[in-house]
Chain A
Amino acid sequence: MTFGDWISEPTNWAFLVMAIPLVLAAWRVVTSRNVVHAALSLVFALAASAGLFILLGAEFVAWVLVLVYIGAVIVLFLFGIMITRAPIGMEAELSHAKRWPAALAALSIFTTTSWLSVDAFGTTEIVDVGVPTSTEVLGRGLLGQFVLPFEAVGFLLLAALIGGVTLARRDDNPAEEEARLAAEETEAKP
């Protein structure tokens, strides 16, 4: 298959329309000097990948992605950014000075995995493009064959919930609280 054949398929145009912004947004996530911009780029990248999911017929998963990530997780991130008072404006120091070792490691992963997958799958065609998987199949799978992992994941979420509360809770020990307030006051005075 030549590049000409490939590019003449309309679905591949759709692919490019989503993949190129996806990569650009992902690039912004890891390079942006502004934390909020990085988080919003992640929103964009995830939205684009949801588009790819729809292209591949995984409509339910795409909407789950939109709802769970763009709806909830990103909000969580923005809260995290605000609460930890991460530098919201431009920040030169957001990344290390030494980038080359990291870039090298990332590049080696990219070459290894992409070479391996191209080697293994080559030009295997995706036949029924855009034929959606019915949500019923997913529902039956989740509550049938995969019910045990499903329950386990549910339990994990519960544990994460309780863990999150425990971690983020401030102990209301009055003595400690007073000490903290006193410390803040002395800090504020000069």
Chain B
Amino acid sequence: MVNVVALAQTVLATAEEGEAVAEAVELVSGGFFAQWAGIMLLTPFAAFIAIILFGKRMKYKGAELAIGAMAINLGWASVLFVSNMTNGIFHEVGFVVADIGQFMGRELVFELGFVVDGLSIMMYWVVAFVGTMVFIYAVSYMQGDVRVPWFFASLSLFAGSMLVLVGAPNLIQLIVGWEGVGLASYLLIGHYWEQKENSSAAMKAFLVNKVADVGLIIGAVIIGRTLGDFRFSSIAKAALAQDEALAGVAVAAGLLLFLGAMGKSAQFPLHVWLPDAMAGPTPVSALMHAATMVTAGIYLMGRMFPLYQNLAQDARAWMVPIAAITLFAMGLLALVTDDIKKVLAYSTVSQLGYMMVAIAAGGYTAALFHLFTHAFFKALLFLGAGSVIHSVDSNNMSDMGGLRKYMPTTYRTFVIGSLSLAGIIPLAGFWSKDEILGVLGEEGYTSFMWLAIAGAFITALYMTRAVALTFHGTYKGEGVPHESPRLMTIPLVVLAVPATIAGLFNIPGVSWGGIGNFTSWIGARVVPMGDPHASEINWGLATAGVAAAALGIALGWSLFGRDARTQKLRDTFEIPVLYPLLRRKYYIDDFYMRGLVNPIKGTIAKGIEFVNGSVIDGIVNGMAFLVGAFGRVVYQGFDQRGIDLAINATAGGTSRLGEALRFLQTGKVQHYAGAFVVGAVVLVVGFVIFA
């Protein structure tokens, strides 16, 4: 016992000494655009309502409204984003909507509002930018599809809920947005609900997230109850001041909030919903299940970072391994999946693992930087995959191949996205992944750092496989594929730009003149946050990361670069033990069904069967024997002689009477009702006369 306490104290001590917070950024209120930033949170909802009302009659089925709302947000967020580069902005607005009243000895209120600071500005911009690109892309992608107005209405609902989530100044509003994006996700995964598996996938996503949300809600209540306040700024200040009451519940609350984040950000073992969520249309996968919604968990961790950094370090012992398992094991699954969208989905889960491992290890900037870059290249990859699917009309990579010639723009942008994801210098993914590796190394998680480097190798391997199977070799599908229309390729090109250069904003040791670096942008919070900007590149680590990626690409190319080899691989690859394990997705889905659902049902059934078979049957059989013995005596002596005669006479009489009366039975309900009414009147009159 003593040892444990002492250990905890050492951890606390190192955290205080070793991790100086970032250089304090000067905070300004941000002027008009920050004061009225709440408008960004409302425009998508206005679009949602307007699309439902007028969408059907409009030329592009309401897409123009959705894009318009997102374009306003993009402009607004860009202004904020740029002004946040020079001076950190902090502005918080909250209206008391309802008085929760006395709750377990605390006076609590429900506030709605918005917060404008470095972190939320970054998220506003990512949501608005990727959202605008995806909406534009979806106009062409969804052309001629079913329920287009409803699709854009749901997307707007999602965008609005996501902005409510990232703009939330307190935990309660965050939960409101959190459930809102969950709802939109449910609606959009099940967009083609006519097929049973799609609506099952939507249901699965919703249920798995609900399990996790329980943790989020309990965690929020614990914190609110302890502090008497749900506001993030209060939580951050209390955490920084080592508030004793908060310290007492910090680990429990932190782990519960982490459970919520595990659901939304698809961490092992709650990741099972994300691959199935690919049942939704591809733009949905790009916007929600890659770039924005699934990063809400990371965002929550970032928002609550002071809590984890200052009070809940002990929670890291759980968080880091879970995230590390996610990043490694889910990458392996991407290797054996044939559905191109599912490859990208597992890749997303794996990358979310990277972000989570970074933030769990204490790398605030590294995690959010990876979130930032990942949003661009993964949205790009998904939109590229959508472009391919649109052209080939199949999700399956074995129906593709050789598309390089037919779809040059898609091919080029897809390769850029893949290289960025694989972490090839100098694309965006390299810089953010390098920073995560650096954090893991610095914080002493060396073994996990090597796991992450191995993960980078696997990332490169599966992305090479995807590119090779899709774009190289010979075409194996039906019909002649064609390049997608401009409306789809332009977003791809636009997204390829940040996927290439976004990493330059946080090169260690470099601060661009006048705009600083990503670390200082998102460090602008109510309390300064994050590690100081690294002073120089850790060349050893960078080399290791790039080498792992290059090795992955080389191996992938040698394995999958030619059709014949791929075919041979397909024929022989099923022998190792690992392969069936991966094909069955580590048996996790099977475990949930057979391991959790069925045994519980089975135990109950067996128990009931035992009671039924042994106890009740015994009583019944005993009784039956006694009754039988008695019955035989009565039957032979009394029944056969005396009663039968009387019975037969009665039966015959009844039968003849029935023959006569059956004609009253017309079967028509109104005849009966009429007879009923007349009978009632007769009875009443009778009572009145005779009583």
Contacts and interface: CB of A to CB of B under 8 A. Distances in A.
Interface of A: 96, 101-102, 105-106, 108-109, 112-113, 116
B678 A108 contact: yes
B684 interface: yes
B671 to A, nearest CB: 10
Interface of B: 670, 674, 677-678, 680-681, 684-685, 688
A101 B674 contact: yes
A105 B680 CA distance: 10
B674 A112 contact: no
7 contacts: A96-B670, A102-B674, A105-B678, A109-B680, A112-B681, A116-B684, A116-B688
B276 to A, nearest CB: 20
Q: Which 8 A-B pairs have the closest CB atoms?
A: A105-B677, A108-B681, A112-B684, A112-B681, A105-B678, A105-B674, A109-B681, A112-B685
A112 B683 CA distance: 11
Contacts of A109: 677, 680-681
Contacts of A113: 684
B418 to A, nearest CB: 41
A105 B681 contact: yes
B198 to A, nearest CB: 15
B98 to A, nearest CB: 23
Contacts of A105: 674, 677-678, 681
Nearest to A106: B677
| Max count, chain B CB within 10 A of own CB: residue among A102, A105, A113, A116 | A105
A116 B688 CA distance: 9
A108 B682 CA distance: 9
Contacts, number: 20
Nearest to B196: A172
Nearest to A111: B681
B602 to A, nearest CB: 26
Contacts of B670: 96
Contacts of A112: 681, 684-685
B578 to A, nearest CB: 37
Given A105-B681, A116-B684, 11 more contacts: A96-B670, A102-B674, A105-B677, A105-B678, A106-B677, A108-B678, A109-B681, A112-B681, A112-B684, A112-B685, A116-B688
Contacts of A96: 670
Nearest to B682: A108
A105 B676 CA distance: 10
A176 to B, nearest CB: 15
A96 B681 CA distance: 23
B507 to A, nearest CB: 57
A113 B680 CA distance: 11
Contacts of A108: 677-678, 681
Contacts of A101: 674
Contacts of B684: 112-113, 116
A180 B112 CA distance: 52
B540 to A, nearest CB: 61
Contacts of A106: 677
A112 to B, nearest CB: 5
A27 to B, nearest CB: 19
A19 B681 CA distance: 25
A102 B684 CA distance: 18
Contacts of A116: 684, 688
A96 B673 CA distance: 14
A96 B677 CA distance: 18
B689 to A, nearest CB: 11
Nearest to A109: B681
B674, B680, B681, most chain A CB atoms within 10 A: B681
Contacts of B678: 105, 108
